[in-house]
Amino acid sequence: MTTPRPTRRAVADDSPNHRKTSDILRSIRAPFVPPATDSVNQPGKRDSYSVTALADLADRSLHAGVAQWTGGLSPAALAQAYWDWITHLAYAPGKRMQLADKAARKAVRLVNYDLRSAMEESTAPCIEPLPQDQRFADEAWHAWPFNLIYQSFLLQQQWWHNATTGLRGITKRHEEMVEFMSRQLLDMVAPSNFPLTNPEILHRTLADGGVNLIRGWQNFLEDCEHAVGGKKLAGCEKFAVGRDVAVTPGQVVYRNRLIELIQYAPTTEEVRPEPILIVPAWIMKYYILDLSPHNSLVKYLTAQGFTVFMVSWKNPGPEDRDLGMEDYRTLGVTTALDVIAKIAPNRRVHAVGYCLGGTLLAIAAAALARDGDDRLATLTLFAAQTDFTDAGELMLFIDEGQIAFLEDMMWEQGFLDSRQMAGAFQMLRSNDLVWSRLVHDYLLGERRPMTDLMAWNADSTRMPYRMHSNYLRKLFLDNDLAEGRFVAGDKPVALMDLRLPIFAVGTERDHVAPWRSTYKINLQTETDVTYLLTSGGHNAGIVSEPGHPGRSFRVGVKKADQHYLDPERFLAQAQRRDGSWWPEWVGWLEQHSGSAAAVPPMGLSGSPPLANAPGEYVLMQ
């Protein structure tokens, strides 16, 4: 019997040249491509390893290149949503007939309004803007022909909302995506964005002789120069870190590859025995909680007799691409607690987490509770989600296709750049963050005065490839934390294990962590939960110092043995109070603290401070 000759493909696959190519490609491909299946070992059925690696490399590189032009949005995800909508609309003659009827009736309403307003100036508009829409609030919009222009736009906007919603058969997610993107396109072409259709711009141009447009052009060129040069927004130089903001006295008492731990100098002769550890989000610089002296939460806490520690996250680079959520938990939260235990031994800690930092802190607290570690006295969450079922319009950017697209973008550079993150957040509030700025800065030629909060917002950070992929998949996409599957320390954690008192803060106009989402902490635990809802948005609602005008809040308490109160009943029963919520929270901390005690030493015994606050990591660009 003769031995069968190997096929040409088998010879090629086993050749020395092929193995050399594979070794080269393996070094590129190994961290990113799943292991091959068993079919690889079946002669004649496996693909060339080099071809597979090259195909994966080509696909990822293409996606990364496209992502630079789309702001990280997946064209495939958008196309899928629009295809779902258009095909269902094509097979819905009744819906199309209804839309035609609505268009005809809106046209009649508009013509009728035009005729009546021509005869009587005080004619009521046929459609009112939404309460949050301030684009047409100026009186000049009520004069002809601008009243007709903005009324026709609002009617068209309403028609498109009807066209993209209420269609039987389309998935809820695709419906929301189509409605959201259609709204973005309409906002782009709103009459308020163009000089000839915006009476405010026309009046200003006539009054200034066109100088406003020259100033606007200068503002535009200045912003372009800053963007191309990677500089911060104009005016940010007035709020230098360590000189104007982040100036509360303190020292960096510990540093590793991921965090600096800052201990702040006491301002009282005695302090509460329980130190406060603040874990901010790594998507932001920590000093949002230590802005100017008048609105610094850190300064406020030290003045109330608390020892305060703050985690300052490193701004990651390509070398940090493989840092994951578990690294952030162990190198961040757990290590900070270990250091505090050495500085202030035998003292339990009030743990505070903000935004993503709050989510991470909740995971760490659940892991400590699971393992019988009782170092935490209380847990406070600022605008932090622990259940991502109703995470707002941000979820429109989270599905398998979108995450894979983002992963390819991060894979190439090793991190998610701050500008790429900013694009998604700006889309959520495009009227406030994009188009109103275009009108105000470039067409009216005015600059809004820079504030410390605006300067901080322009000082954003990057996120490592692996960590952000973990976060998007395990929390946003799969909701593992809420459903008991999130693994910390090789074992799942459950928020039901928490038995310490919890104080949770939500903000009424939060577009990042909607307050009804943060309210779900009441469903996930069997402990005492104090929930406070404050006015303002995700950031301004938290930076709510005493004396800040227009601030208000409402608060409710659910004891461990009480029944659940849904968000709507909470709104109805919790009375609104005027003023800052900070004193309310400090009063709650004092209720769960011991009597005043001696001030703990600054830093670790025998180890000199590494630097004065604000440290080095916060200055990394």
Q: Rounded to an integer, what distance in angstroms lies between the CA atom of residue 247 and that of residue 173?
A: 45
Q: Rounded to an integer, what distance in angstroms lies between the CA atom of residue 423 and that of residue 223?
A: 16
Tell me whether the omega of the peptide bond preceding residue 614 falls within 30 degrees of 0, making it cis: yes
User: Residue 46: pLDDT band by 50, 70, 90 thresholds?
Assistant: low
pLDDT digits (tens, 9 = 90+) for 543-597: 999 999 999 999 999 999 999 999 999 999 999 999 999 999 999 999 999 999 9
Q: Rounded to an integer, what distance in angstroms lies between the CA atom of residue 62 and that of residue 25?
A: 17
User: Looking at the structure, do residues 335 and 196 belong to the same domain, yes or no?
Assistant: no
Largest Cα–Cα separation, the chain: 105
User: Looking at the structure, do residues 264 and 164 belong to the same domain, yes or no?
Assistant: no
Residue 435 pLDDT exceeds 70: yes
71 or 51: which carries more pLDDT confidence? 51
Question: With contact defined as beta carbons under 8 Å apart, do 292 and 245 qualify?
Answer: yes
Amino acid at residue number 12:
A
Question: With contact defined as beta carbons under 8 Å apart, do 117 and 123 qualify?
Answer: yes
User: Looking at the structure, do residues 260 and 119 belong to the same domain, yes or no?
Assistant: no
223-232, Cβ contacts within 8 angstroms, sequence gap of 24 or more: 223/441, 230/621, 232/455, 232/458, 232/459
User: Looking at the structure, do residues 542 and 485 belong to the same domain, yes or no?
Assistant: yes
Residue positions annotated with a catalytic role = 355
3-state secondary structure 522-549: HHHCCCCEEEEEECCCCCCCCCCCCCCC
**Which CATH number belongs to the domain containing residue 584 in this structure?**
3.40.50.1820
530, β-bridge pairs: 503, 557
User: Looking at the structure, do residues 370 and 256 belong to the same domain, yes or no?
Assistant: yes
- Chosen domain end from 201, 228, 258: 201
Residue 387 pLDDT exceeds 90: yes
Domain housing 523? 250-389+479-619
- Chosen domain end from 179, 201, 223: 201
In a domain, 307, yes or no: yes
In a domain, 559, yes or no: yes
3-state secondary structure 202-225: HHHHHHHCCHHHHHHHHHHHHHHH
Residue 491 pLDDT exceeds 80: yes
Give me the pLDDT at residue 35, please.
44
Tokens, residue 445: 């030629």
Report CA dihedral (245, 616, 541, 193) to the nearest 10 degrees: 80
Overall average pLDDT of the 180-204 stretch: 93
User: Looking at the structure, do residues 159 and 255 belong to the same domain, yes or no?
Assistant: no
In a domain, 429, yes or no: no
Residue 423 pLDDT exceeds 60: no
User: Looking at the structure, do residues 522 and 374 belong to the same domain, yes or no?
Assistant: yes
Return all residues near 42 (Cβ < 8 A) that are at least 6 apart.
Answer: none
User: Looking at the structure, do residues 174 and 298 belong to the same domain, yes or no?
Assistant: no
C-alpha separations of 376 from 253, 366, 386, 593 in Å: 20, 11, 18, 12
Residue 181 pLDDT exceeds 60: yes
User: Looking at the structure, do residues 190 and 309 belong to the same domain, yes or no?
Assistant: no
User: Looking at the structure, do residues 374 and 522 belong to the same domain, yes or no?
Assistant: yes
In a domain, 399, yes or no: no
Give me the pLDDT at residue 20, please.
39
C-alpha separations of 369 from 366, 493, 583 in Å: 5, 9, 28
Q: Which of 37-51, 169-183, 386-400, 552-566 has the lowest mean pLDDT?
A: 37-51
In a domain, 51, yes or no: no
Residue 98 pLDDT exceeds 60: yes
- Chosen domain end from 161, 176, 201: 201
In a domain, 160, yes or no: yes
In terms of residues, how long is the chain?
A: 621
User: Looking at the structure, do residues 363 and 490 belong to the same domain, yes or no?
Assistant: yes
Residue 10 pLDDT exceeds 50: no
Q: Rounded to an integer, what distance in angstroms lies between the CA atom of residue 437 and that of residue 422?
A: 15
Number of domains in the chain: 2
In a domain, 309, yes or no: yes
pLDDT digits (tens, 9 = 90+) for 365-382: 999 999 999 999 999 999
Angle, in degrees to the nearest 10, between helices 49-70 and 400-413: 100
Q: Which of 44-48, 97-101, 537-541 has the lowest mean pLDDT?
A: 44-48
User: Residue 13: pLDDT band by 50, 70, 90 thresholds?
Assistant: very low
Give me the pLDDT at residue 427, please.
64
Q: Rounded to an integer, what distance in angstroms lies between the CA atom of residue 337 and that of residue 330?
A: 10
User: Looking at the structure, do residues 268 and 380 belong to the same domain, yes or no?
Assistant: yes
Q: Rounded to an integer, what distance in angstroms lies between the CA atom of residue 92 and that of residue 84?
A: 12
In a domain, 548, yes or no: yes
